[in-house]
Amino acid sequence: MSSINLIDAFQDFKDAENIDRPTMMKVVEDVFKTLLRKKYTSDDNFDVIVNAEKGDLEIIRHRMIVEDGQVEDPLAQVAYSDAIKVEPDFEVGEELFEPIDLYDFGRRAILAAKQTLASRISDLKKNVLAQKYGDRVGDIISAEVYQVWKKEILLLDEEGNELILPKSEQIPQDYFKKGENIRAVVARVDMKNNNPVIILSRTSPDFLAKLLEIEVPEIFDGLIVIKKIVRDPGERAKVAVESYDDRIDPVGACVGMKGSRIHGIVRELKNENIDVINWTSNIQLLIQRSLTPAKITSMELDNEAKHANVYLKPDQVSLAIGRRGVNIKLACELTGYELDVYRDNEGEVEEFDVDLEEFSDEIETWVIDELKRVGCDTGRSVLALTPEELERRTDLEKETIEEVRKILKEEFEKE
C-alpha cells in the first residue's frame, strides 16, 4: 500500500497541543480531499486515512467491479478485466480497494497541499489562542517581559504566546526590564490583520479586584463581595465591600492583621493608596465613607440631580479633595454623585476653598511655602489679605503677589 510521509507538515500539528485530534484529522482530510476533487472532479469514492502520530497519510480508492463494457461511472465503477489485473480472484459485484500513489498528483500539487495544510494549522492556532484568552478576560496571568518599547511591552506566556501591555494600561510608576516576570489582568482580545492580539492591563479595576481575591480568602469564597472599585492608577483606589455573613467585618478581612493582606497589593500597585470601605445603600453614609480619610460635618443632598454639598472643618477640606483632586474625584465615581466641598467654620458655612498645594503647577513651590509660613494655606486665606499686608508679612515681591492673587481669583471665578 503506497503512502507518503508528511512528518514535516504534521509537525506543526503535534506542537499545537491545544488543537484537538478530531479537528486535526478533519483539516488534513479536507486538504487532501480538495486535491482529489481537482484531479478526479469528485472525492466520493476515496477514503483519506491519517496517522497524525507518525505523520503518515494514505488515500484508498474504492470502486464496484462490473462486466466489461458496463462501466457507466468511471469514478465509482471498474471493468472486470481491469480489476483482475490487480487481483486475479476478483469477481463481478465485488468492491475493488486500491491505494492511490500520492506522487501521481505531481510534485507541485503535493507542495501546494502542504502549504494549504500549514496555512490551515496557522488559522487553527490563532482561533485556539483567541478562544483561550477570550475565556480568560478578567483573569490575572503572569508573563515574562520579552521586549520593552516606548508605547508598549511585549510579553510571553508559559507557552510562548505573545501578549501586549500598552503604556496606557501600565501604572505610571511601572518600570520593567527584559526577563522580568510581571502580573496583569487580561483586558481584551483584539483582532489585527486576522491575528489575535491579547491586551493586558495593570490599571483596570479588575486587576485590583483579582489581587484582592487572591489575598482575601473570604472574597474568593464569596463571603465578601466587592461592590465597586474606582482607581487613579498608582495614586489612589477606593474599594467598596459588603459581607453576606454578619460575623465577618469586610473591611477588617480585606486589610488583614496590621495591614498584612493589603500591603502586598499596595506594593504590587506601586504604593497606590487603597481605601477599603463598607458598602451601604444609604447614599448619605456612602458619601461620608467615600471621602475618607476626611471627616464630614454635615451634608445637603439632592437625589434627583445626584448632587451633594459636603461641609467639613477647614483642616479636613484638603483631605477631602486630596492631592490633585484625586480623592474627591474617586468619591464622585464611587457614589455616582457630584460632590461639592465647603468649609464649615464654627457652624458658619464659607465658600468653597482650595489648598494652596493644588496650585503647585502654576505657583512656584517656594512661593507657596512663603505664604504658608504666614498662615495662608488655602486660596481664600491668601485673598482675604490685602496685597499690602501680604507684601509686609512675606518676603515676596509686589509683582509676585499680584500674579498669585490673579491665579487664585481666576480659579474661584470658575467655581
Superfamily of domain 213-279 in the CATH hierarchy: K homology (KH) domain (3.30.300.20)
CB 239 within 8 A of CB 274: yes
| Percent of residues, the chain, with pLDDT higher than 70 | 89
CA distance 173 to 395: 37
Q: What is the rounded average pLDDT of the residues 63-72?
A: 81
CA distance 48 to 37: 13
141 sits in which H/E element: strand 140-148
Q: Is the pLDDT of residue 18 over 80?
A: no
Query: Tens of pLDDT along 98-157?
Result: 787 777 777 777 777 777 777 777 777 788 788 888 899 999 999 999 999 999 999 999
Residue with cell 508559559: 158
Give how far the C-alpha of residue 293 lies from the chain's centroid of Cα atoms, to the nearest Å: 31
Residue type (1 letter), 382: V
Domain boundaries, the chain: 4-131, 137-203, 213-279, 356-414
Query: Tens of pLDDT along 235-274?
Result: 999 999 999 888 899 999 999 888 889 999 999 999 999 9
In terms of pLDDT, which residue wins out, 95 or 197?
197
Using DSSP's 3-state secondary structure scheme, residue 181 falls into strand
Instruction: Give 137-203's CATH code, choosing from 3.30.1780.10, 2.60.40.770, 2.40.50.140, 2.40.50.1020.
Output: 2.40.50.140
CB 126 within 8 A of CB 194: yes
Strands (E), 285-358: 296-302, 307-312, 338-345, 348-349
Instruction: Give 4-131's CATH code, choosing from 3.30.1480, 3.30.70, 3.40.50, 1.20.1440.
Output: 3.30.1480
Residue type (1 letter), 178: K
User: How buried is 327 (Cβ within 10 angstroms: 0-12 exposed, 13-18 middle, 19+ buried)?
Assistant: buried
Query: Tens of pLDDT along 186-234?
Result: 999 998 888 899 999 999 999 999 999 999 999 999 999 999 999 999 9
pLDDT at 15: 53
pLDDT at 3: 41
In terms of pLDDT, which residue wins out, 347 or 180?
180
In terms of pLDDT, which residue wins out, 147 or 28?
147
214 sits in which H/E element: helix 205-215
Helix residue ranges per DSSP H, 16-153: 21-40, 80-86, 107-134
Q: Is the pLDDT of residue 275 over 60?
A: yes
7: pLDDT confidence band, cut at 50, 70 and 90? very low
CB burial string 252-281: b at 16+ within 10 A, e below: ebbbeeeeebbeebeebbbebbbbbbebee
351: pLDDT confidence band, cut at 50, 70 and 90? low
